[in-house]
Amino acid sequence: MSETDQTTNGNAQSPTLNILAQYIKDLSFESPNAPGVLRGQTKAPGINIGVNVGANPVNGADGEYDVKLSLNAQAGEGGDMLFHVELEYGGIFRVKNFPQEHLLPVLFIECPRLLFPFARQVIADVTRNGGFPPLMIDPIDFAALFQQRMAEERARQQVQVS
Which superfamily is assigned to 13-151 in CATH?
SecB-like (3.10.420.10)
First to last CA, the chain: 54
pLDDT of residue 116: 98
Interior angle at CA 146, CA 141 and CA 150, nearest 5: 150
Give the pLDDT of the chain (162 residues) as one tens digit per residue: 444 444 444 556 899 999 999 999 999 999 988 887 777 666 778 899 999 999 999 987 789 999 999 999 999 877 788 999 999 999 999 999 999 999 999 999 999 999 999 999 999 999 999 999 999 999 999 999 999 998 988 888 888 776
Strand partners, 47: 75
pLDDT of residue 41: 63
User: Among residues 92, 78, 97, 84, which one has the least CA distance to residue 8?
Assistant: 97
pLDDT of residue 135: 95
Using a cut of 0.75, tell me whether the model's pTM lies above it: yes
- CA distances from residue 18 to 85, 92, 93, 107 in whole angstroms, order as listed: 29, 9, 6, 12
Spatial separation of the C-alpha atoms in residues 90 and 65, rounded to whole Å: 10
pLDDT of residue 42: 62
DSSP collapsed to 3 states, the chain: CCHHHCECCCCCECCEEEEEEEEEEEEEEECCCCCHHHCCCCCCCCEEEEEEEEEEECCCCCCEEEEEEEEEEEECCHHHCCEEEEEEEEEEEEEECCCHHHHHHHHHHHHHHHHHHHHHHHHHHHHHHCCCCCCCCCCCCHHHHHHHHHHHHHHHHHHHHC
pLDDT of residue 3: 44
pLDDT of residue 7: 43
